[in-house]
Structure 1
Amino acid sequence: MDTATHITMGVAVGGLATIDPAVQQDPALFQAVLIGAIVGSHAPDFDTLFKLKDNATYIRHHRGTSHSPIAVLLWSFLVSGAIYLFYHDVSYLHLWLWVLFAVFLHVFVDIFNAYGTQALKPFVNNWIAFGFISTFDPLIFILYVAGILAWLLGADPRYTFGIVFFIVFLYYIKRYLDKREIVKLMTEHFDDVEKVITQPTIRHNIWRLAIITKHHLYVARSENGHIEIKDEFERKPLPDTTEMNAALQDANVKAFISFSPVYRYEIDRYDDYTEIRFIDLRYRAKDRYPFVAVVTLDKFYNIITSYTGWVYSEDKLQKKLEPLT
């Protein structure tokens, strides 16, 4: 989820916490829980600071260890402990439990979008991304904001946010059924489907799709139940060559491959260097695939320069690779 939704969800958790008699009867505990729920609902995304180092570090670690079961516990203790320093007369147990719930809810809802998380790390290092809720879903955000406004206007937060969370729960079920129908259409259309990767958009009737079959990769778009194939690529394994093996040692390429479940590659050879480009097929927009990793090698297969990230024009990408020239 995006930052705004996580924060409004934290406020909703703080309001829902009033179902706890200890929170309802102690104004100081309520304040502490509300603050803790807001901070805790965003805490796992503090790993965004990795972006200050470089894109490779950010891509490799964002929503990784910071969203693991061990991290959920650590975040809950760190946030509740920091707040308890200022509210040391309240029940720490109740404060910690509600902060733990807020942190857990953050990680839990993140697994339903296309980006996903490594929510089971270190037990399972795979990315978990169910891909049926948009990173920013207007309806979910509006529901939380509506609940907050109703609370400010005097509505009982217990019932208000109980209803809000129940509607959100029903909405998740509806979106899951939408995805299941799309996957069913793809498996009926292609005989050898191995995986269908879905990426919902903020428009509920439009989905981006990447279909992996035995011999091909397809990029498609679903709108109002109508499937349109946008691109088709032959599925080719990475060649076991000196230049490819050299490229795979690059940190940017390693980060890209660890994160992307479906990509293709291009190799362009020039007089003085070779460029190898890895292209994620999930994020097609305006006939481009903006999420890439690019590495250039000299004649002796030494890495000259490389880049990974989201780039929406070829000119901007070439500027990222300017050290080559």
Structure 2
Amino acid sequence: MDTGTHIVMGVALGSLATLDPAVAHDPGLAQAVLVGALAGSQAPDLDTILKLKNNAKYIRNHRGITHSIPALFIWPLLITGALVYFYPNVNVFHLWLWISLAVCLHVFVDIFNAYGTQALRPFTKKWIAFGVINTFDPTIFALHLAGIGVIFLGAHPGYTFLTIYIVLAGYYVVRFRQQAAIKKAIYQQIPHVEQIITVPTLRFREWHLAVTTKDYFYVGRAKNGTIHILDTFKKCPIPSHPAIEAAKKDENLSAFLSFSPVYRWEVNEYNDHYEVRFTDLRYRSKGYYPFVAVVQLDLDFNIVSSYTGWIFSEGKLRKKLELIPS
């Protein structure tokens, strides 16, 4: 989820903690739990700092080890240890418990969007992405804001968010049912389907689709239960072209390939260089595919320039690549 949603979820857990008798009867512990829940709800995204290094490091590592099974234990211990310094007389077990819940909730909700996480590391680096909730879901965020508002009006914080989370559990069931109906419609409309990736949008009844079949990639949209195919691409294995083989050694393309499950490739040869481009098919926006990896090589297949990440126009992509115009 986005940072704002994780913050309000931290507030929600701090509120739910008031249902714990140990927290309810100790104002100091209640304050420490709220601070800890806010910290725990943000801690797994500390890897966002990798953006300062480069996009390749960020793409390869974001939602990786910081969202892994060991991290579910390490983050709570670190945060609890830090807070005990400022709140030395609180019940450490209950503080640790609620911080652990905050960290686990963060990782748990992240697996429901299309980006996903590597939540089962170190056992596997496979990305787990259910694709039923947008990274920013207006319904989820609005319900949390409503809950915070109701608390300010005097409602019991614990029972308020207990009610909201029961409603949200039903909301997730509805989203899974929507996804199942979309997949059923795709199987009826497109033959030889091998994989379906759903990417929810900000609109409740509109989803982006990337469908892999035996011979083709289909990019489409589900709107009000109807499947619309927008683009079709012939499914071609990556060839052993020397430009591609050399480009795979570039960290930007390597990071892209470690993350993207469905993409198309192309190799363009110009007078003085080659350009290798891989395009993620999950994120079509207004006829453009903004998530790419591009590697430019000279005629001897030496890497000259490269980029991976989100880009929404060819002009901006050329500025990122800087060295060689095409």
Q: TM-score, normalised by structure 1?
A: 0.99
In 1, Cα distance between the equivalents of 2:192 and 2:124? Answer: 27
> Separation in 1 of the partners of 2:169 and 2:21?
24
Give the structure 1 partner of residue 55 of structure 2.
55
Q: Which range moves more in the overlay, 78-87 or 109-118?
A: 78-87
Query: Are residue 318 (structure 1) and residue 299 (structure 2) matched?
Result: no
Counterpart for residue 204 of structure 1:
204
- Matched with 2:187 is 187
Gaps of 5+ in 1: none
Deviation sequence 1:118-168 (CA, Å, 0-9, x none): 011111111111000011011100111111111121111121111011111
Aligned mates of 1:321, 1:10 — CA distance in 2: 39
Task: Measure how far apart 1:181 and its partner are.
Answer: 0.6
Paired amino acid for 2:36:
G
Cα distance between partner residues in 2 of 1:242 and 1:139: 49
Tell me if the contact between 2:275 and 2:295 (Cα under 8 Å) persists in the aligned partners.
yes
Cα separation, 2, equivalents of 1:66 and 1:170: 29
d(CA) in 1 for partners of 2:188 and 2:43? Answer: 42
Partner of residue 259, structure 2: 259
Question: Does 1:299 pair with 2:290?
Answer: no
Question: Per-residue deviation at 1:240?
Answer: 1.6
User: Aligned partner of 2:237: which letter?
Assistant: P
Q: For the Cα contact (< 8 Å) 2:280–2:292, is it kept in 1?
A: yes
What is the alpha-carbon distance in structure 2 between the residues aligned to residue 28 and residue 166 of structure 1? 28
Q: Distance in 2 between matches of 1:15 and 1:321?
A: 48
**3-state SS of paired residue (1:42):** helix
Shift of 1:298: 1.1
Per-residue deviation at 1:236?
A: 0.8
Q: Given residue 65 of structure 1, which amino acid in structure 2 is its aligned partner?
A: I
Shift of 1:29: 0.4
In structure 1, what is the Cα distance between the partners aligned to 2:6 and 2:17?
16
Partner SS state of residue 93, structure 2: helix
Structure 1 residues 124-163: aligned runs within 5 Å: 124-163=124-163
What is the Cα deviation at residue 270 of structure 1? 0.6
Task: Report SS of the residue matched to 1:37.
Answer: helix
Shift of 1:241: 2.5
Structure 1 residue 226 displacement after superposition: 1.3
Match of 1:66 in 2: 66
Aligned to 2:25: 25
Q: Offset of 1:50 from its aligned partner? A: 0.3
Q: CA deviation at 1:256?
A: 0.4
Q: Equivalents in 1 of 2:217, 2:2: separation in Å?
A: 29
- SS in structure 1 opposite 2:106? helix
| Cα distance in 1, alignment partners of residues 189 and 103 from structure 2 | 41
**Can you list the C-alpha shifts for 1:64-110, whole angstroms capped at 9, x where unaligned?**
11100101211111111111110010011100010000000000000
CA distance in 2, matches of 1:240, 1:84: 57
Aligned match of 1:36: 36
- SS of the residue 2:265 aligns to: strand
* Partner residue in 2 for 1:88: 88
SS in 2 for 1:217: strand
- Quote how far apart the aligned CAs of 1:324 are: 2.5
Equivalents in 1 of 2:118, 2:173: separation in Å? 22
- How far, CA to CA, are the matches of 2:278 and 2:319 in structure 1? 17
- Partners of 2:201 and 2:208 within 8 A in 1: yes
Instruction: Name the count of aligned residue pairs.
Output: 325
Q: For the residues of structure 1 that align with 2:70 and 2:279, how far apart are their CA atoms?
A: 33
Structure 1: distance between partners of 2:211 and 2:281:
9
* Gapped regions of structure 2 (runs ≥ 5): none
Instruction: Output one character per residue of 1:272-296: Cα deviation in whole Å (capped at 9) or x when no partner.
Output: 1000100000110011000000001
Whether the aligned pair in 1 keeps the contact of 2:244 and 2:267 (CA below 8 Å) is no
Please say if residues 278 and 293 of structure 2, whose CA atoms lie closer than 8 Å, have aligned partners that are also in contact: yes
The equivalent of 1:5 in structure 2 is 5
Q: Aligned-pair distance for 1:191?
A: 2.1
Q: Cα RMSD over matched residues?
A: 0.8
C-alpha separation in 1, matches of 2:256 and 2:209:
19
SS of 2:323's partner is helix
Q: Do 2:13 and 2:102's aligned partners in 1 also have CA atoms closer than 8 Å?
A: yes
Instruction: Provide, for residues 220-245 of structure 1, a one-character-per-residue CA deviation record: whole Å limited to 9, x for no partner.
Output: 01111111100000111111232211
